[in-house]
Structure 1
Amino acid sequence: MRERIPVVVQGRRTRRPRAVRALWTGAELAVTLGVVLLLLVVHQLWWTNRQARYTAQDQVARLERQWRTGPPSSAAAPGPDDDGARAPRAGARTPPPGALHRRTAGRPPPDLAYAVLRIPRIGVIAPVAEGTGKAAVLNRGYVGHYPHTAQPGGAGNAALAGHRNTHGEPFRHLDRLRPGDTVVLDTAEARHTYAVVRVLPRTTPGDGTVLAAVPHSGVHPAYRFTAPGAYLTLTTCTPAYSSAYRLVVWGVLRSTRPR
């Protein structure tokens, strides 16, 4: 008797309904987008801080080393670029990072660090560069000096800006400063010590009179100085992780000690 070999018939693969396929595709896209967003957050909140802090610390060390070893050599003067920061002119020799300079007419060349800011209460030690451009100054972990305001220790108002979040965030805890706290600005020539006298917790980005030679707030009239002096103004964004408003700290010069 012959033995029959069973025949196995493969069933046809059932296709997923269109709605299921759409949901599956959407889920895959959502996971991919989530991973990309997570990487962006890590880059913004961790990597930029790590990179900027290293750059800033290295710059402070360079400045202090150069101050100890002698007067700086002159550097080529950079020219302006299109976003308000400064870039070297075509063909000009670019000074190395941290290069010091001779001041021209009392003003440092743009974007070059020339001072060190120290705020003991919040643990800040950061280089100060001329200008407030993001790419050339602030995003490197530096504190930027507002052009056309007074220089450290000078009569008028020496105004500085710094990031509160990301890129080194030197002004992360600026809101913790209180009247009487010490702020020090070191330059090649002297150490200038200021005392905090007033804090404006929140004002609009357009409140430019906080940088005036005799500073005051055009938005909050109660915050006003009336007499000429040697002021220091520190500004940053507020609240944290937002640029909707500005936090302002004012100090007055207490002493200047030659190096």
Structure 2
Amino acid sequence: MSTESQSQHQGRRSLFRAGIVMVVAGLLILGYVAWELYGTTIVSKQRQREATSRIEQAWGSGETEVSTEFGSAEALIEIPRFGDDYRIPVLEGTSDRALGAGFGHFEGTADPGEVGNFALAGHRVTHGEPLRDLPELRPGDEIRVLTREKRYVYALTSGGDDLIVPFTSIWVTDPLPDNPERGGVEPEQVEGQRLITLTTCSELFHTDNRMIAFGKLVSEEPTR
């Protein structure tokens, strides 16, 4: 084989190897995307069911403080607009572990039914995506918060996509959120209210901005 033929042969082999590497890399990327979009949600929905079952069993046996493998739990959330079977646990804190099993309760914000702001975070896509359909919510929609002792019903005062802020806008979790933009979406500026705030990513595949919905307590009743 001539030197030129050998060079061409080696060139074809190098191209073939590079092609194989690119195909494998592409498959790995596709696999990762599929896992993020579908795999994490399947796993998280199972975790949501496990945490919900643990909470319900604990309440049934009289436990006041419920510990799950995903963190301390304090409540369950029902949103009628999302369906009769929508029931998501609330875990303390906003760690990846907590958000991978339900809603995360921002530390330092009010507890269910308390004066102040019961502020929650949830994924909009992947990891169970409990707030995927947040844009569908409208003012007046109910957010039901179940604890061992009471059921608190909040009514939204803003729509699910009425307010989008940068992720650095921590004012939305204040006891009485006060929008720094004059005329912007905010709760009624009256002290002593019992509020709820839902936060999630505003874009499905980016996390730079947050979509915010505010609500206020309209009723409460014993659960037993």
TM range, smaller chain: 0.7 to 0.9
The answer to which structure has the higher helix fraction is: 2
Q: Which runs of 4+ in 1 moved over 6 A?
A: none
2:157 is aligned with 1:157 = no
Describe how 1:1-259 pairs up with structure 2 within 5 A.
15=6, 17=8, 18-72=10-64, 97=69, 111-123=71-83, 124-134=86-96, 136-139=97-100, 141-199=101-159, 200-219=162-181, 221-224=183-186, 225-228=188-191, 229-259=193-223
Q: Which amino acid aligns with 2:99?
A: L
* TM superposition score normalised by structure 2: 0.88
Question: 1:130 touches 1:144 (CA, 8 Å); kept in 2?
Answer: yes
Using the alignment, how far apart are the partners of 1:57 and 1:36 within structure 2? 30
Cα deviation, residue 22, structure 1: 3.2
Cα deviation, residue 52, structure 1: 0.8
RMSD of aligned Cα (Å): 2.2
Cα deviation, residue 32, structure 1: 0.5
Gaps of 5+ in 2: none
Question: 1:130 touches 1:145 (CA, 8 Å); kept in 2?
Answer: yes
Number of residue-to-residue matches in the alignment: 215
Q: 1:28 to 1:16 in 2, by over 3 A?
A: farther
Using the alignment, how far apart are the partners of 1:151 and 1:43 within structure 2? 34
Question: 1:236 touches 1:248 (CA, 8 Å); kept in 2?
Answer: yes
Using the alignment, how far apart are the partners of 2:49 and 2:68 within structure 1? 16
Using the alignment, how far apart are the partners of 2:20 and 2:178 within structure 1? 54
* TM superposition score normalised by structure 1: 0.76
Using the alignment, how far apart are the partners of 1:118 and 1:217 within structure 2? 27
Higher RCO structure (Cα 8 Å, ≥6 apart): 2
Mark the structure with the bigger radius of gyration.
1
